[in-house]
Structure 1
Amino acid sequence: MTSPRVRAKWRPSLGMIVVAVLLAVAALPLAGLFFFRLYENQLVRQTEAELIAQASVLAASYADAVERLDPPLPLSPAAMTPQPVDDRFHPIEPALDLTGDDVLGPRPPAVPPTTAVDPALQAIGAQVYAIARRAQDQMLAGVRVLDFNGVILAGAEEVGQSLADVPEVADALAGHYHASLRIRRSQHEPPPLYSISRGTGVRVFVALPIIAHTQGGDRVAGVIYASRTPNNIFRHLYGERRKVALAGGCILAVILVIAFVFSRTITRPIHQLVRQTRELGTRTLDQGPADAPHYGTREIALLSQSFHDMAQRLSDRSRYITTFAAHVSHELKSPLTGIQGAAELLHDDLEGDQAMAPEQRRRFLGNILADTRRLTALVQRLRDLAQADNPVRGGRADLAALWPDLAAQFPGLALSAHGDNAAVAMSAENALILFSHLADNAGRHGATTLTLDVAVRDWAVVVTVADNGHGISPANRDRVFDAFFTTRRDSGGTGMGLHIVQSLLRAHGGDIRLAETSPEGGAVFEVTLPRA
């Protein structure tokens, strides 16, 4: 009885599972760090966008006031690049990148100006700053209004000083928007938890040129210089605590899935295999081994199936040895009992007063010789069976070259071979032993002819062996391959021939079966041999 095989299906290897789990574990902190940096950078760009919006409104107010002056003021000689007539919108997109842009040092201090400030611009700057000051409680931005020479017209401090040498201001005076990240000056140390955030130690500075439309073209009338510290990521995450909790739940779910995969594919099958190993010694032969688990990785599934097959073979082998030992003891007991009884009678005749008749003594000696020959034949069959169970595998035999040797070995059988010429994956010696047992079995059952039909299949060679002997009765068809089963026990049969043939074939990957009775009334066997 062979154990059922696990249905073939794709299974991940143990190495794949371990690598996938390690990659997932390694990706979790990287993903968290990436999310942290991406979110922090988003806060920086959000701050820049808000400063652009606020500075644009203040710049529009400043430009409108400058354009209403009469007479007009002489502005910066740097003319702006003319825009297309149909291009109505000129959006400024935030472009600061906390991960890629350099963080500059603190803003340089203002220096004394080299030019005087026009009183009209001083008044406009004060009006614009008053608007910014009233909105500062909501927008939390520091604003300085500069004239077209970079002199501070209005601001919390440093009024009248020049910032023309600051890079972003200098770029704005040339008519270009410029934003930068600078180290934040603070009188208080940030909390320890904030030290892992890069965004808490920087400040966003935006320099937006004020463009006035004059008769000579677009001119730079000044600069709105605004700055603000980005929103703290931890404070922002606290505000989004429900979403953060959801993300944490997702991470926990991933960890639980990984734990389940490990348990399902590695831990649980190994524990089941250990349990089966412990139970193997307590199960009886009739129960057989426990079922193999049908899940796990490819290596564990193969290991479990190999263990199950090994346990099944051991169970079958133990059952076979137990049955075989019982048959051998029974077969040996009968001739030994006969030899012992005849020897005791002859011994009593030597010590008794009345001599045994010569005919009777001869009959007892004949029984001893007959039982001895039977024991000799039985021992030889047992040796043949041992060789058949563990033959020397391999080799190649040409069947056409085998038939003459078989015919010479059994001259009492008229042997005829038909069909294809084929070679089998079996040594010539083992092939001759195989067909010799079949020919001997046919001859002992009254056959005078033996027909061999050879047919070549895709993967095997099938030889049909038919004789014209007495045949096999329907009651005995199911037992012909059992060890020690014979209908010629009185004439010296051991019942081992067909069992030896079956064992030899199965050891080479072949088989034999009893076919329907031939028209001549004899036995027909189909022998399947591996093709060379």
Structure 2
Amino acid sequence: MRWLSKERWRPRLATVVIAILIVVMALPLVGLFFFRLYENQLIRQTEGELIAQGAVVAALYAQEVRAAGIPQDRLGSPISADPARDNNYPYDPIEPRLDLASDDVMPMRPAALPATPDPAFAAIGARLDGILDETQKTTLAGFRLLDPHGVVIAGGDEVGRSLGDVEEVRTALSGAYASELRLRIPDQPAPPLYSVSRGTRVRVFVAMPVELDGRVAGVVYLSRTPNNIVKHLYGERGKVTLAAITIVGGTLLIALVFIRTVSRPIYALIDRTKRIAAGDRDAIRPLAHHGTREMAALSAAFLDMAQKLQARSDSIQTFATHVSHELKSPLTAIQGAAELLRDSGGAMDEAERKRFSNNIVTDAGRLNLLVRRLLDLARAENLEPSGESTTLHAALASLPIDTRLEARLEGGGDIRLGISAENLGIVLANLIDNSARHGARQVAIRASADGERASVQIGDDGDGISAANRARIFEPFFTTRRESGGTGMGLGIVLALLKAHDGTIRLVDSERGTRFEIDLPAA
């Protein structure tokens, strides 16, 4: 066949499982490095730190401006009242809002432009510059203190230059908090792997307005590079190692459980299949380890199928042996008699010729009977239930009267049985004929019902069945009355018909004669 000549490539079960387990182990790394979830958290953490530092510097700067007595008209833009602000007054928290998933990374911060600072604000910046430098050594954040016009008055080497055109600074000068993600300025060589502040390509910028009497007194402009993920993981290497061991251990445990519960039973069943196909009868037995309930059910179904196929094969082999034996004897007798008649010429007298002719007719009749009984048996074994029902009254009424014995219905004649009248008549006819051939004069039939099942008892007063033959009576071709025309097929046909209707028949003990009990569905 074509499908046997070229087999499509298919992955092994173990390969599929290993691939799935690798994907499972890689999921945390995918979430960490490709979806940038953890990096986003580090950016939020950095923004929150800058907000806290900026709030302190803003409070200190506002205090210095107030102490310097700078008039209000020299301050910046008025700050409009926020309706939501009164709900939490006097508290006005600023929550981190940067998000890698939704916020664009802006270009590097534009360079500061030349400008002329206000002397009063420049003096305040000079007083605070040292504090900012000391703070930066600890927090690693970059500080720029701006006057109400965006001119740097403290922090770094940009003092006296304007950052008013930077977008986030412009927003802060109008009185609103602003933050941005910008590309980090590559002003130094590539950092080492675990650089403290330069392990990522972005930098967080926060611009916080300084409020004084409802106007903008200046801006605290801060920036810092978020912690590198690798550096942060290195700092948490103990926990990361424990998590990795847990993931690998859990994966190996899943693999072990899968191998024991699925893979090993499947391969054992495959091996068992090959042994059964090779004719090893010892292989038709349950597996030593099933793993799961479904695998146990699959194995049981497979072994049940193998047992039925083996039994059917044995039955066919035995049946073929019996058929060849039963047909060979009359064929041999017919052939012998025909050859004698052919070769005798005129030497055989009329009596002998008649005797040999009678033998041919008798053996031909036996062959004809055997063939008809074989057809009846084949029809019974392949019968599809019709769903019809009948009673013992109806079935017995359809049978011809047997003058050899008396068939008596003793009870239950109106109980409906799940079998057609024709097939029940065949069952009863074979059993009654079997009783007549074994010397019975009376046959008693009785039926009873119990819920969804019905029982039919058939007993006679004949010779009975010897203990040696009780186990063989349902075997095809087994008979003790072969010389009187018995074929040994009657009880085999009865058994096949009842099986086709979900019924059974068994031989039960009886003080006299033979007694059968039939079990059928009650209609």
Asked if Structure 1 and Structure 2 have the same fold, meaning a TM-score greater than 0.5 normalized by the shorter chain, the answer is yes
2:139 matches 1:139: yes
Which SS does the other structure have where 1:221 is aligned? Answer: strand
Q: Which residue of 2 is the match for residue 271 of structure 1? A: 267
By how many angstroms is 1:473 displaced?
A: 5.4
- Identity among equivalent positions (%) equals 51
1:389 pairs with 381, 386, 409, which one? 381
5 Å matches for 1:88-127?
Answer: 89-113=91-115, 117-127=117-127
Q: Which residue of 2 is the match for residue 234 of structure 1? A: 230
By how many angstroms is 1:227 displaced?
A: 0.9
Which SS does the other structure have where 2:68 is aligned? Answer: coil
Q: Is the 8 A contact 1:40 1:199 kept in 2?
A: no
Q: Which residue of 1 is the match for residue 514 of structure 2? A: 523
Q: Which residue of 1 is the match for residue 497 of structure 2? A: 504
Q: Which residue of 2 is the match for residue 222 of structure 1? A: 218
TM-score, normalised to structure 2, is: 0.75
The 1:420/1:235 distance shift into structure 2, 3 A limit, reads farther
Q: How many residues align?
A: 501
- Amino acid in the other structure paired with 1:320: S
In structure 2, what is the Cα distance between the partners aligned to 1:336 and 1:80?
Answer: 120
Q: Which residue of 1 is the match for residue 163 of structure 2? A: 163
In structure 1, what is the Cα distance between the partners aligned to 2:283 and 2:143?
Answer: 88
Q: Is the 8 A contact 1:397 1:425 kept in 2?
A: yes
In structure 2, what is the Cα distance between the partners aligned to 1:241 and 1:35?
Answer: 20
By how many angstroms is 1:147 displaced?
A: 1.6
The 1:166/1:306 distance shift into structure 2, 3 A limit, reads same
Unpaired runs of at least 5, structure 2 = 1-12
Q: Which residue of 1 is the match for residue 423 of structure 2? A: 430
Q: Which residue of 2 is the match for residue 9 of structure 1? A: none
In structure 1, what is the Cα distance between the partners aligned to 2:243 and 2:481?
Answer: 84
The 1:107/1:368 distance shift into structure 2, 3 A limit, reads closer
The 1:495/1:159 distance shift into structure 2, 3 A limit, reads same
TM-score, normalised to structure 1, is: 0.74
The 1:392/1:169 distance shift into structure 2, 3 A limit, reads closer
Q: Deviations over 1:398-454 (max 9, x none)?
A: 334322112546684334374264665555543332221011112223334434334
5 Å matches for 1:121-520?
Answer: 121-187=121-187, 200-212=200-212, 217=213, 219-253=215-249, 255-256=251-252, 259-260=255-256, 263-264=259-260, 267-283=263-279, 287=282, 289-291=284-286, 295=290, 304-321=299-316, 323-324=318-319, 381-391=373-383, 393-394=385-386, 396-399=388-391, 400-408=393-401, 412-416=405-409, 418-419=411-412, 421=414, 426=419, 428-456=421-449, 459-472=452-465, 477-488=470-481, 491-517=484-510
The 1:410/1:33 distance shift into structure 2, 3 A limit, reads farther
By how many angstroms is 1:180 displaced?
A: 1.7
Deviates more, 1:79-88 or 1:91-100: 79-88
Q: Is the 8 A contact 2:62 2:210 kept in 1?
A: yes
Which SS does the other structure have where 2:48 is aligned? Answer: helix
CA RMSD of aligned residues (A): 4.9
By how many angstroms is 1:41 displaced?
A: 0.7
5 Å matches for 1:58-73?
Answer: 58-69=57-68
Q: Is the 8 A contact 1:145 1:223 kept in 2?
A: yes
Q: Which residue of 2 is the match for residue 50 of structure 1? A: 49
In structure 1, what is the Cα distance between the partners aligned to 2:289 and 2:497?
Answer: 33
By how many angstroms is 1:131 displaced?
A: 0.8
- Amino acid in the other structure paired with 1:313: K
Unpaired runs of at least 5, structure 1 = 1-13
